[in-house]
Structure 1
């Protein structure tokens, strides 16, 4: 009897082991493009395979805020050089990028999130989203955040577009909270302001044995369109939260706070993204990994790890490949002139 149980146990363990795909290492990670002295954060790939990235205004000498990467890996200012011409010290203008943090391609449009907060010294004027027609590269609309939806120290960090509900959702990593934008009338609503679920849990991370001191509130955001749930996570924290989008849109502030759910303890991430199978991808910043969490089963495993993962910042999926940016935020303690920042991709199973 003991022998039979032992055989059954071994068989079960082998079966369980085969279910999980092996962790992907550096040799299976492909380079797509790299940028010397230009720190990339945001990334989005359109339905036609066009690659867009952005470079935040965290320092001087940012050549372009938004670029499109062609098939040869060459960068081209998007939509043109004039939009990317603003420099530190100039007066703020309406039709230029000042401090772009994220880009999102959705159907035939590109949404460009401008924090209007260069150098983290406070917003110069209202954060905004520029929407460009991808066919003509012409500006279609500008959404300007209302005064009561941001703070002077806000850094509106990332966004997700919900065409089904006619909304866009944002995280604020500078002053903890979320913002809901109505894509029809352009109004904005701030929710979960300084709520425990949007606040940072720590003021540092330990990366490769080194302490990275910083306090970063609600940052990563991911939209589950199948189940109408918005997921979000502080960067210096280990708790993943979610809330129904219907509540975010229609609920009172009290309703919204009551519906926040803790989903799981996770590693500290930056950006997050769902695939079509209900898997959530995000970085484990402290261990140079990319994690994969199946929301339905709750199973979480290491999807990829290695030296080609250096602060995986933002993700995009196109034709069964996961693309991500390496922003190397923890490595920077001076000029970045000689540093390389990259876009990599991994074929999904």
Structure 2
């Protein structure tokens, strides 16, 4: 891997990583939670684990001094710019380059590729050019392609948030957390479009959340997304809201809100989530207000997997080797300066079947 170690200080636009090998904590439920890595001074949101167990994270471009957009956590706990330092230069230098990560919000490893979702909306100041997916070959650690969204797939205030890859339909599904809606990218012909644009099923339901009693007033639209490939179902959820919705992937097509909305169903009432993922019948999702990681069973029972001090805004989920990985992005506590804050990646065993 042609990368350099990320170290030093925020003022040098690189950060110091701290790691505890085999560090375990007990959640309030007594479940064992393992610390995979922690980093001081860089707020991380996304996490994903590849088929061979490599752990990747991303840091969004929300403030000055961000040292990397995407990093791999090594076995010794270092956060190493990925796939190389040059591709991560734009976030620190506030440069807009076609071949460089600018404002990454999510990373998803799927088969032998890493999909890097670049909002192209640094510091929420507006989209500067087409939001895109960088596709990295995990074998060669090289960018093999860049998937650009078409102009009718995003708005000038869009913040494309998370994604799921559907092999059956050869499409990628994404959420837009700033301008409500779902974005579809068709890998067959490299076209893209929106559905449920500014629709009640993708819009925020409330203006204010209470994170363990602390008011959070930023309104966030469609955010969480999960894909059940077996039953060909896409789940989605506004962060500022309590309704979990679903649509069959066969019903996803370029059509009016009215036509698509007829195919949408409300699945359950849940807490307000950020992280969300589907696995073997369960929909895993955060409850930000309670600071918990929960899961919705096939019988629609909402159960708690992890809670306590090890959960502080569970932002993004990934599953590998019967364990759920999640980040603590601590958005409720993060202001303009996070140089003294520490952000963690944890994993915990999935519930017994």
In structure 1, distance between residues paired with 2:261 and 2:246: 11
The equivalent position to 1:32 in structure 2, one of 12, 29, 36, is 36
Q: 1 or 2, which has the higher helix percentage?
A: 1
The equivalent position to 2:218 in structure 1, one of 198, 214, 218, is 214
Q: Tell me the SS of whatever aligns to 1:287.
A: coil
Q: Which residue of 1 aligns with 2:141?
A: 137
| 2:67/2:92 contact within 8 Å kept | no
Tell me how far 1:166 sits from its aligned partner. Answer: 0.3
The equivalent position to 1:180 in structure 2, one of 184, 191, 200, is 184
Moved over 3 A (4+): 23-27, 87-91, 249-254
The equivalent position to 1:53 in structure 2, one of 49, 57, 61, is 57
Q: Which residue of 2 aligns with 1:165?
A: 169
Tell me how far 1:24 sits from its aligned partner. Answer: 5.9
- Cα gap change, 1:175/1:31 in structure 2, threshold over 3 Å: closer, same or farther? same
RMSD between superposed Cα atoms in Å: 1.4
Correspondence list, 1:88-99, <5 A: 90-99=94-103
The equivalent position to 1:282 in structure 2, one of 265, 285, 295, is 285
In structure 1, distance between residues paired with 2:156 and 2:348: 39
- Cα gap change, 1:292/1:27 in structure 2, threshold over 3 Å: closer, same or farther? closer
Bigger-Rg structure (1/2): 1
Q: Which residue of 1 aligns with 2:326?
A: 324
- Cα gap change, 1:160/1:308 in structure 2, threshold over 3 Å: closer, same or farther? same
Q: Which residue of 2 aligns with 1:204?
A: 208
Q: Describe the superposition over 1:20-46 as per-residue Cα deviations: whole angstroms up to 9, x where unpaired.
A: xxx863661111100101001011101
1:192 aligns with 2:196: yes
- Cα gap change, 1:98/1:143 in structure 2, threshold over 3 Å: closer, same or farther? same
Correspondence list, 1:104-119, <5 A: 104-119=108-123
The equivalent position to 1:75 in structure 2, one of 63, 73, 79, is 79
Tell me how far 1:207 sits from its aligned partner. Answer: 1.1
In structure 1, distance between residues paired with 2:229 and 2:255: 19
Q: Describe the superposition over 1:123-154 as per-residue Cα deviations: whole angstroms up to 9, x where unpaired.
A: 01110001011000111111101001111100
Q: Describe the superposition over 1:85-130 as per-residue Cα deviations: whole angstroms up to 9, x where unpaired.
A: 0146744110000000000100000000000000001001110001
| 1:247/1:255 contact within 8 Å kept | no
- Cα gap change, 1:151/1:78 in structure 2, threshold over 3 Å: closer, same or farther? same
In structure 1, distance between residues paired with 2:163 and 2:269: 22
Tell me how far 1:252 sits from its aligned partner. Answer: 5.5
Correspondence list, 1:264-283, <5 A: 264-275=268-279, 277-283=280-286
Q: Which residue of 1 aligns with 2:4?
A: none
1:258 aligns with 2:262: yes
| 2:236/2:246 contact within 8 Å kept | yes
TM-score using structure 1 length: 0.90
Tell me how far 1:251 sits from its aligned partner. Answer: 5.7
Q: Describe the superposition over 1:180-228 as per-residue Cα deviations: whole angstroms up to 9, x where unpaired.
A: 1011211001110010000001111101211111110000000010110
The equivalent position to 2:347 in structure 1, one of 330, 345, 348, is 345
In structure 2, distance between residues paired with 1:229 and 1:27: 30
Unaligned runs of 5+ in 2: 1-26
| 2:195/2:255 contact within 8 Å kept | no
Q: Which residue of 2 aligns with 1:44?
A: 48
Unaligned runs of 5+ in 1: 1-22
In structure 1, distance between residues paired with 2:91 and 2:317: 28
Tell me how far 1:333 sits from its aligned partner. Answer: 3.0
Q: Tell me the SS of whatever aligns to 1:211.
A: strand
Q: Tell me the SS of whatever aligns to 2:259.
A: helix
The equivalent position to 1:150 in structure 2, one of 146, 154, 157, is 154
